Amino acid sequence: MINIDQVNFENKRVVIRVDFNVPLDENFNITDDTRMRAALPTINKVLNDKGMVVLMSHLGRPKKNPDPKFSIKPIIAHLEELLGRKVAFADDCMKAADQVAAMKPGEVLMLENLRFYAEEEGKPRGIEKGEEGYDEAKKAIKASQKEFTKTLASYGEYYINDAFGTAHRAHASTALIADYFDADHKMFGFLMGKEVAAVNKVMNEIQHPFTAIMGGSKVSTKIDIIENLLTKVDNLIIGGGMTYTFMKALGGKIGNSICEDDKLDLALDILAKAKEKGVNLVLSIQTLAGNKFGEDSDIKIVDPMNIPDGWEGMDIGPATGELFAKVINGSKTILWNGPVGVFEFEKFTGGSRAVANAIVEATEKGAFSLIGGGDSVACINKFGLADKVSYVSTGGGALLEAIEGKELPGIAAIKK
**Residues at the contact surface with ligand AMP, assessed by CB under 6 A:** 215-218, 221, 240-241, 258, 313-314, 338-339, 341-342, 344, 374-375
Q: Could you confirm whether 397 is annotated as catalytic? A: yes
Q: Given the complex with ligand AMP, which of 44 and 221 has the nearer CB atom?
A: 221
Q: Given the complex with ligand AMP, which of 51 and 372 has the nearer CB atom?
A: 372
Q: How far is the CB of 378 from ligand AMP (least distance, A)?
A: 8
Name the active-site residue from 60, 396, 397, 405.
397
For the sheet with 158-161, list strands across it.
88-90, 108-111, 52-56, 13-17, 158-161, 186-188
Name the active-site residue from 13, 17, 35, 222.
35
Q: Given the complex with ligand AMP, which of 255 and 374 has the nearer CB atom?
A: 374
Angle ∠(20,26,32) on CA atoms, nearest 5 = 35
Q: Given the complex with ligand AMP, which of 321 and 341 has the nearer CB atom?
A: 341
Other Cβ atoms less than 10 A from the Cβ of 390: the count is: 17
Q: Given the complex with ligand AMP, which of 51 and 240 has the nearer CB atom?
A: 240
Q: Are the CB atoms for 391 and 337 separated by under 8 Å?
A: no
Q: How far is the CB of 348 from ligand AMP (least distance, A)?
A: 8
Beta-ladder partners of 111: 90
Q: How far is the CB of 268 from ligand AMP (least distance, A)?
A: 20
Q: Given the complex with ligand AMP, which of 47 and 258 has the nearer CB atom?
A: 258
Q: Given the complex with ligand AMP, which of 331 and 376 has the nearer CB atom?
A: 376
Q: Quote the distance between the C-alpha of residue 272 and its chain's center.
A: 30
Name the active-site residue from 218, 273, 300, 382.
218
Nearest residue to ligand AMP, by Cβ distance, number only: 216
Q: b/e per residue, 368-389, with b = 16+ CB within 10 A?
A: bbbbbbbbbbebbebbebeebb
What ranges make up the beta strands (E) of 230-332?
235-238, 280-282, 287-290, 299-302, 312-316
Q: How far is the CB of 344 from ligand AMP (least distance, A)?
A: 5
Q: How far is the CB of 224 from ligand AMP (least distance, A)?
A: 13
Other Cβ atoms less than 10 A from the Cβ of 48: the count is: 11
Q: Are the CB atoms for 336 and 355 separated by under 8 Å?
A: yes
Q: Residue 26 class from Cβ within 10 Å (0-12 exposed, 13-18 middle, 19+ buried)? A: exposed
Q: Which of 80, 5, 81, 74 is nearest to 46 (CA)?
A: 5
Q: Count the alpha carbons within 13 Å of 108 in the hemisphere toward its beta carbon.
A: 23
Q: How far is the CB of 351 from ligand AMP (least distance, A)?
A: 8
Q: Which of 104, 147, 144 is nearest to 124 (CA)?
A: 144
Q: How far is the CB of 406 from ligand AMP (least distance, A)?
A: 18
Q: Could you confirm whether 374 is annotated as catalytic? A: yes
Phi, psi (deg, nearest 5) at residue 109:
-125, 125
Q: Could you confirm whether 37 is annotated as catalytic? A: no
Q: b/e per residue, 250-279, with b = 16+ CB within 10 A?
A: eebebbbbbbbeebbebbeebbeebeeeeb
What Å distances lie between residue 413 and 1, 148, 403, 409, CA to CA? 11, 17, 18, 6
Active site positions, annotated: 35, 218, 374, 397
